[in-house]
Amino acid sequence: MSLLSGHTLVSIGSFEAGGFVELDCSLSENHVFSAEVTEHPVEIGGDISDNVKQNPDEVTITGIVTNYPAQWLASLSTIPGRAETALEQLRSMKALGKLVDVVTGLREYSSMIISRVEAPRSAGVGDAVQVTVTLRNVQVVQSKTVAAPVPAQARGTATSAAGKKPPAAADAAQSGSSTSTLAAWSGL
């Protein structure tokens, strides 16, 4: 628990993404676990639903990073620029697109991507940065190349190119005649 208003500390990051950002105070967390139900219209009656597709988990966290982190409150010392550095680190994690881990008071998530970082400023924030970070779970897969199986039976026959062929010969009746159709009709 944080010393600030009793809210749970939140940590976002990974070594691959360049480190971790710890929020001094989590103001809100929105955990989304959803699914899509497929629907098919029919002529009479309601739509038919025959499948469910699970959507990736999403979490949106709003919190505060200060230059007076919770672990330093006892000595009342400050870490100049800590809040701004945390914001830049979150922006960098989003830009890199690396997988991060998220630890909240409700749940731990792995294989998350930061899809959005917001940092609204107002007069009441003071020497701190309020951030809203939206993360989405991704499933990374790897494809594998394998050799095609050899068929048990040969299929089809090999054909060779026949090349260019001359135009088809005219009818046998016309091939022997040297007169034109107009000449034959007119009697010439």
Cβ contact 1:8 at 8 Å: yes
pLDDT values of the chain reduced to their tens digit, one per residue, 188 residues: 333 444 457 888 888 878 899 888 889 999 999 999 988 888 888 888 889 999 999 999 999 998 877 654 545 556 678 889 999 999 999 999 999 999 998 899 999 999 999 999 888 777 889 999 999 999 888 899 998 888 888 877 667 776 777 776 555 455 555 566 666 666 66
Residues 6 or more apart from 68 whose CB is under 8 A from it?
24, 76, 77, 78, 79, 127
Predicted confidence at residue 176, as pLDDT, reads 54
pLDDT digits (tens, 9 = 90+) for 110-142: 999 999 999 998 887 778 899 999 999 998 888
Q: What is the pTM of this model?
A: 0.64
Residues 6 or more apart from 175 whose CB is under 8 A from it?
169
Q: Tell me the domains of the chain and their CATH numbers.
A: 10-37+49-137 (2.40.30)
Q: Round the average pLDDT of the chain to a whole number and report it.
A: 81
